[in-house]
Structure 1
């Protein structure tokens, strides 16, 4: 659906050239929700704006639904952009226009016949749950309602791709969940490919199938969301994950731990198995759970536990080897004293 090849975006400023995007290549499959994560300045917003050529790449190319956008002339590009909807962090609604008029504006810009606009807007309002706000102005809406208008407007011309640039960053947690639920519904029912730019790992964990982590304009890690949460490769990725799933133990607890401190990751069905209790019965060791949880990512369980193992070094090594064969990861945080 979307192929990004060797894409770079260089901004020329008075202080010199700044690389917003640095030689990025990605493939985003049709019908998936793809997250692009990074801190401010990582290049993620520059990248997403290149996808619909709001920013023209300095080098590289963007192919959407089989069409290389970088080769299109102005009218061809305008037509291609109709198939790419976009929603923004701050909604970008016209305050002097009603909800109906804000959505209808996209249809008029696409030269949709006036006779078809009313029915299409009514259909979109029902889809985003705002049929009762048809004649209300943006100033009378909550943040979540404004974003729903933005989503309806982005869907007006039946796009195949929906770009979301920090779409939930200005919203409270409860409203964020409702917007993410709506995006999942849109993805499922309309098979729209969604590219979601965010710095919030909770958002990615909630709805994305695959993801990329960006830093300094480059992609530093990429893959299935579940796999990245289970076994992150880069320190930056671990930092993002720990913002969602923290396993830092209080110093008062650590002072009491004299055994071997380990982190165990259970993937899929293994998360529900009695691996640890089997291990304790099989080997001459004791186990003490200190911290842990089971999360669900794309409806698959992912268990992460921190525990203390005590016993002879040889038995602990056998136990760790046994656990390692039955789980996704065993990491020794600190050896016993």
Structure 2
């Protein structure tokens, strides 16, 4: 669907070359929601803007639907861009135009008739839940409503690809969740390929099928979201994952403990089994749960538990091995003195 081949983008800043994207190659499959995550300055937004040539790459190729976008210009490029919708962090709505007029703008640019525009805008407003805001102006809308208008505008010309550049970073958590659910619905019902740029692993967890992690203009890790949560390979990926799975325990509890501290990762079916209960019944050990949580990634559970085990040293070791065999994710954090 989208193939990026050895893409490089170099800027000239004060007579110095600054590399924004450094020889990036990746393939995004048709119909998937693909995430690109990185800290500020990692090159993720530059990479996204190269896909529709808002930024023209210095070298490399971008192929969308079997068309080499980087080889196009003029009318051919404008036509190709009609199939690549884009939504922005700051909404980019025209303040002097109503919701209807903001959405209709993209359709007029594509040469649609008045009747076609009327019909299509109505469909889009119904899709994003804003039929009652048709004649409102952007200043009368909440942040979430503005982004829904932005989504409707991006979908106006029936694109096959939707690019989302930090589309939820200006929104509160509840509104972010509603926008992400809308994007998932659009992906599911229309089959549109969605590329999501973000610096928040929560967004990746909530919506994406696969993810690429960027650092210093390069992709340092790529894979299924669940796989990166359970087996991150790079320090940057681990830091993103730990921000979501972190288990904050008051220092006084850690100082007061007398047993062995273990962190247990329950993956897939293991998260729904009574492994801890079986362990405490099988071995002569006591278990003190200090913290725990279960996340759902693409509807697959991932549990993490911070547990203090106390008892005979050999029994504790046997219990740890027992849980390790069943979860494949036990880490001894600290052993009792």
Partner of 1:223: 223
- Higher mean Cα deviation, 278-287 or 185-194? 278-287
The residue number in structure 2 matching 1:130 is 130
Does 1:6 pair with 2:6?
yes
SS at match of 1:320: helix
The CA distance in 1 between the partners of 2:267 and 2:31, in whole Å, is 25
Shift of 1:301: 1.1
Offset of residue 312 of structure 1: 4.2
Aligned-partner Cα distance in 2 for 1:317–1:30: 48
Displacement, 1:113? 2.9
Q: Distance in 1 between matches of 2:328 and 2:152?
A: 41
Unaligned stretches of 5+ residues in structure 1: none
Q: Deviations over 1:119-156 (max 9, x none)?
A: 11111111111111112211111111111111010000
> Which range moves more in the overlay, 187-196 or 136-145?
136-145
- Where 1:232 maps in the other structure, the secondary structure is coil
Structure 2 residues not aligned, in runs of 5+? none
- 2:193 alignment counterpart: 193
CA distance in 2, matches of 1:59, 1:332: 47
- Counterparts of 1:241 and 1:36, CA distance in 2: 14
- 1:26 corresponding residue in structure 2: 26
Is the contact made by 1:97 and 1:137 (CA closer than 8 Å) also made in structure 2? yes
TM-score (norm 2): 0.95
Give yes or no for the alignment of 1:163 onto 2:163.
yes
2:39 paired with 1:67: no
Tell me the distance in 2 between the aligned counterparts of 1:235 and 1:315.
Answer: 34
Partner of 2:206: 206
CA offsets 1:227-281 (integer angstroms, 9 cap, x no match): 2222322222222223323213222111122322111111112111111222233
2:256 aligns to what SS in structure 1?
coil
Q: Are residue 335 (structure 1) and residue 335 (structure 2) matched? A: yes
Aligned twin of 2:320: 320
Question: Residue 43 in 1 paired to residue 43 in 2?
Answer: yes
Any conservation in 2 of the 1:204–1:225 contact (CA below 8 Å)? yes
* 3-state SS in 1 of match to 2:257: coil
1:89 matched to 2:83? The reply is no
The 1-side partners of 2:138 and 2:127 are apart by 18
8 A Cα contact 1:230 1:328, kept in partner: no
| Separation in structure 1 between the aligned mates of residue 320 and residue 22 of structure 2, nearest angstrom | 41
- Match of residue 147 from structure 1: 147
Question: For residues 192-237 of structure 1, what are the alpha-carbon distances to aligned partners after superposition, in whole Å with 9 as ceiling and x for unaligned?
Answer: 1111111122211111111122111111222111222223222222
- Deviation of 1:44 after TM superposition, in Å, equals 0.8
Alpha-carbon displacement from aligned partner over 1:66-111 (angstroms, at most 9, x marks no partner): 2121122322221111110000011111111111111111011112
Q: Which residue number corresponds to residue 242 of structure 1?
A: 242
In structure 1, distance between residues paired with 2:173 and 2:73: 42
Find the counterpart in structure 2 of residue 274 from structure 1.
274
How far, CA to CA, are the matches of 1:5 and 1:316 in structure 2?
52
Match of 1:244, SS state, is helix
How many angstroms apart in 2 are the aligned matches of 1:230 and 1:38? 19
Deviations for 1:9-49, whole angstroms, at most 9, x for unmatched residues?
11111151111111212211111111111111111100100
Are residues 84 and 261 of structure 1, via their aligned partners in 2, closer, same or farther at CA, if it must alter by over 3 Å? same
Q: Distance in 2 between matches of 1:219 and 1:333?
A: 30
Superposed CA RMSD: 1.6
Deviates more, 1:254-263 or 1:162-171: 254-263
Distance 1:286 1:90 in 2: 53
Q: 1:333 to 1:146 in 2, by over 3 A?
A: same
Paired with 1:4 and 1:77, the residues of 2 have a C-alpha distance of 17
